[in-house]
Structure 1
Amino acid sequence: MLLTADDAQDLPLPASRFAAEHRLAVGAAREAGALLRAHLRGEASEQYAVRSKGSLGDVVTDLDTMAEDVIVQRIRAGFPHDRILAEEAGELAGAAANGRTWLVDPLDGTNNVAIGLTACVVGIALCAGDVPVVGVVHDPVTGRTWSALHGCGARGPHGPLRVASRTPSPAGPLLGWTQGYGVARDDPRARALKTGLERNSRRLLQLWAPLLTWSMLARGDIDGFVGYRAEAVDLPAGALLAMEAGVEIRTLDGGPFRGGAIGPDTDRSFVAGRPEDMPHLLGLVNCCRMKS
């Protein structure tokens, strides 16, 4: 029997003390996605507003806040004592004494949506301390969901998710790129790294939706992902999904990656890819950094 788009998320999970949290995150992401779907497909009668957010060219829409409200309400009802860090509302009341933090990106790819592109996802993560233990990425247009539970693997629309090996292209790897909003346009390190990667890869994708790129990496659609001072709210869900699918993540200098939602954004620069590709990817990054 073929699985439907989300059946795989409902299959029994391995024993985990975070199984209930995983179920809630998947359900909340689906509910938010259903709310978004009609608007993104052009089926909703009402229009949504787009507003400026900050001084660096970012935007926010009514869809972001509506989807965020749905997710936050679900988390508060299920786990009222947990801290919540939401993309639009910021830090919300929670005891936080238990060291648990939910990270909510209700519409990763808002800038795409604002110009008519539906390249976006809903992202939810739970961190115990600074360790991501639950991660969910949901595509509201197709209804597909990818999720991970710490130590229990990743799953996609058709069951367990494991990144597959690819034959290297003679034209170079297909890479994703992201940088945080706090990175200045004239940042010499970011410029050198991005320019060097563009020169030495088949394509360098900047999708304006890091969680979408993480899901592509976990599926094996791209060869690697490089981030420079990445944003905190969407990193844990994507990184957990990729790691549980068999992706390796390192710092730019090749050391162990421990970046998360806590700490400065300088700790959130990374190189991610299949373990067998990591020496080549780190070599590319190191060459770019040496020229900066």
Structure 2
Amino acid sequence: MSDHADRATVTERAARAGARIAHEHFRTDIAVETKGEKTDVVTEADRAAQREVVDVVRKEFPDDAIVGEEEDELKAVPDTGAAWVIDPIDGTNNYVRNMRTWATAVAAVEAGEPVAAATVLPALGDTYTADAETAYRNDEPVTVSDETDPERAAVVPTIWWDRDHRDEYARACEAIVSRFADLRRFGCAQASLAAVADGGVEGVITNVAANPWDTVAGVHLVRQAGGRVTDLEGDRWRHDSKGIVASNGEVHEEVLAAAREIERTT
């Protein structure tokens, strides 16, 4: 088995292990804390799930860097060497509201580029994975939508805008509803990107410089499912890019145009 295949196996195993811990605490009387903004919440389930993911990874790859949302792990992806990017519960606001759309996401990265990913949505019963060749949902290959008509496409504004940037959120919504058939918002960036990979929606946009744990696994899913992911300039997206524009490829230019509208000045 190749090193990339080994990493793909461990991403799935680690994501499933973390998701199992998070799911055990789901819809229980768990304490909720805030980290900054009133909507930036965290629970002990986040921390426990991340520790479980790290334990699984460390057993197989003890010397690799760990990038994780919680606790004292790295907060940026190194541009050299091997690393693991972990989000123990993406969509914690959904989680604490007892809503099912949240995920545990793990990505394996080499020299800053994802090589394997797993996004587990245990409350929905779906596991998305991507290796060096293909993306899967519950072990069945998936591909992005083949929709070419923006007026039949659905697009998601994702990554929450701070309180003093809600005008940008409003412009994102306006740009979407004026160009596309409909708007979706799942409250979970990894679920949104998985939906692009699975053909459920045609695009995802934000102008925010997103954290790697919110994006890297999902970006790999989209690409391996045949989609396209760029920054706001239309260049290939990286973990340190500002903004994210993910699409099925067929309507990418229109999705990119919508994303660029977010920061327009009047």
Report the TM-score, using the length of structure 1 for normalisation.
0.80
Find 1:128's aligned residue among 96, 106, 110: 110
Name stretches of at least 5 consecutive residues in structure 2 with no aligned partner: none
Distance in 2, Cα, partners of 1:105 & 1:285: 24
Q: Which amino acid aligns with 1:28?
A: A
Distance in 1, Cα, partners of 2:34 & 2:262: 34
Structure 1 residue 142 displacement after superposition = 3.6
Residue 24 (1) aligns with residue 10 (2)? yes
Q: For residues 14-73 of structure 1, what are the alpha-carbon distances to aligned partners after superposition, in whole Å with 9 as ceiling and x for unaligned? A: x64211111111111112222233433x5xxx6321111223531111211111111011
Q: Which residue matches 1:248?
A: 228
Larger radius of gyration: 1
Q: Which moved more, 1:136-145 or 1:236-245?
A: 136-145
Find 2:184's aligned residue among 178, 189, 205: 205
Distance in 1, Cα, partners of 2:42 & 2:15: 19
Distance in 2, Cα, partners of 1:220 & 1:66: 32
Does structure 1 retain, via aligned residues, the 8 Å contact 2:145–2:196?
no
Q: Which amino acid aligns with 2:70?
A: E
Task: Provide closer, same or farther for how the CA distance between residues 164 and 73 of structure 1 changes in structure 2, counting only shifts above 3 A.
Answer: same
Q: Which amino acid aligns with 1:121?
A: A
Task: Provide closer, same or farther for how the CA distance between residues 165 and 97 of structure 1 changes in structure 2, counting only shifts above 3 A.
Answer: closer
Q: Which moved more, 1:78-87 or 1:48-57?
A: 48-57
Structure 1 residue 121 displacement after superposition = 0.8
Q: Which amino acid aligns with 1:154?
A: A
Residue 223 (1) aligns with residue 202 (2)? yes
Q: Which residue matches 2:165?
A: 186
Q: Which residue matches 2:143?
A: 162
Distance in 2, Cα, partners of 1:169 & 1:258: 22
Does structure 2 retain, via aligned residues, the 8 Å contact 1:82–1:98?
no
Q: Which amino acid aligns with 2:101?
A: A
Distance in 1, Cα, partners of 2:160 & 2:124: 27
Structure 1 residue 187 displacement after superposition = 6.2
Residue 77 (1) aligns with residue 59 (2)? yes
Distance in 1, Cα, partners of 2:117 & 2:2: 14
Does structure 2 retain, via aligned residues, the 8 Å contact 1:120–1:209?
yes
Distance in 1, Cα, partners of 2:55 & 2:185: 32
Does structure 1 retain, via aligned residues, the 8 Å contact 2:18–2:53?
yes
Q: Which moved more, 1:281-290 or 1:19-28?
A: 281-290
Name stretches of at least 5 consecutive residues in structure 1 with no aligned partner: 1-14
Report the TM-score, using the length of structure 2 for normalisation.
0.87
Structure 1 residue 104 displacement after superposition = 0.7
Q: What is the SS of the residue equivalent to 1:246?
A: coil
Find 1:269's aligned residue among 243, 247, 253: 243
Alpha-carbon RMSD: 2.6
Distance in 1, Cα, partners of 2:128 & 2:149: 25
Distance in 1, Cα, partners of 2:88 & 2:179: 34
Q: What is the SS of the residue equivalent to 2:34?
A: strand
Structure 1 residue 101 displacement after superposition = 1.6
Report how many residues are paired. 263
Q: Which amino acid aligns with 2:175?
A: G
Structure 1 residue 289 displacement after superposition = 5.2
Find 1:281's aligned residue among 251, 255, 264: 255
Q: Which amino acid aligns with 2:122?
A: P
Q: What percent of counterpart residues are identical? A: 24
Task: Provide closer, same or farther for how the CA distance between residues 165 and 112 of structure 1 changes in structure 2, counting only shifts above 3 A.
Answer: same
Does structure 2 retain, via aligned residues, the 8 Å contact 1:197–1:288?
no
Residue 259 (1) aligns with residue 238 (2)? yes
Q: What is the SS of the residue equivalent to 2:84?
A: strand
